[in-house]
Structure 1
């Protein structure tokens, strides 16, 4: 028993040293991509909504997607199928859970996120910000809840495609042969 407990806690030490810092050009390209992606979504939001307090297009999970798409564009979780599928599947699950299950908010939140993770694994579209998208669909404002399944198209699919277009443009501008995007589509 004691050995099992020791082994369990021993796993938490980590096995490797931290990776080194990214090269300056990689950091700069990451910043440019994130700036352009989020800026375009913000501008779209500004032109579509008269009341600038309505930030429907600025979904928090897009910030996390920007980190993946522009910071680690070669990562499996950053690829287009993961970005698009992860957000859309998770939005669908979040809306469905909120709309059809008469449970308390804490249970709805946990169900939306956990079911999204399972669905993303099954469909090979794991994208961590998708979990946040599912959660936003449950705990979001009344404006989000009023959209119902339209939330999947606008803002989720629209914002996701903006981030993808910017990722395709910016990640392929670098002269670094290792910074190309995507690694795969399917």
Structure 2
């Protein structure tokens, strides 16, 4: 009977994060502090750049998800500079185009996300948060391509730089360099 209950608990645990690998508290804190410092740096610089240029849009909402990848999973192919910068920028361009060309957002949103995924496959820059960038452009009715470059590309570049500095200072290699 005990064996059956233990087996049932293990089987159910999968659905509550049981498939996640163990991460030490040191690594959890390193990743969390890195994302705090990195995002603060990105937000401060982007806000300053926005004020200097008179542009109100200085932040992209999906940057938190990008930060998770570059600080907590710096070895992932989806966290590498090309994936972060090109994936986010391409997806913003596609989302803006969808917002301009397709007036119905119910159609524009899935089209923007799916085309951004296709584009990321083609350019070899898969970055999951970037599909959200395409949706954000449609939801926000963004119809100017400048948005793809500032804040999206600039914020992505700043995040990659912050991640590179922090990760290398704390003993993690970022970005990954091919052997």
TM-score by length of 2: 0.81
Give the aligned partner of residue 131 of structure 1: 131
Q: Is the 8 A contact 1:44 1:57 kept in 2?
A: no
- The 3-state SS of whatever aligns with 1:30 is helix
Listed as ranges, the gaps of 5+ residues in structure 2 are 1-13
> Could you list the runs of 4 or more consecutive aligned residues of structure 1 that deviate by over 4 angstroms after TM superposition?
none
Give the aligned partner of residue 110 of structure 2: 110
Q: Is the 8 A contact 1:45 1:56 kept in 2?
A: no
Q: Is the 8 A contact 2:43 2:59 kept in 1?
A: yes
- The 3-state SS of whatever aligns with 1:156 is helix
Q: Is the 8 A contact 1:86 1:130 kept in 2?
A: yes
Give the aligned partner of residue 158 of structure 2: 162
Give the aligned partner of residue 184 of structure 1: 177
Q: Is the 8 A contact 2:50 2:58 kept in 1?
A: no
Q: Is the 8 A contact 1:59 1:155 kept in 2?
A: yes
State the shift of 1:80 in Å.
0.9
Q: Distance in 2 between matches of 1:167 and 1:124?
A: 21
CA RMSD of superposed structures (Å): 2.2
State the shift of 1:155 in Å.
0.2
State the shift of 1:116 in Å.
0.3
Give the aligned partner of residue 79 of structure 1: 80
Q: Is the 8 A contact 1:41 1:57 kept in 2?
A: no
Give the aligned partner of residue 58 of structure 1: 59
Give the aligned partner of residue 6 of structure 2: none
Q: Distance in 2 between matches of 1:84 and 1:48?
A: 18
- The 3-state SS of whatever aligns with 2:137 is helix
Listed as ranges, the gaps of 5+ residues in structure 1 are 1-12
Alignment CA distance shift 1:110-1:80 (3 Å): same
TM-score by length of 1: 0.78
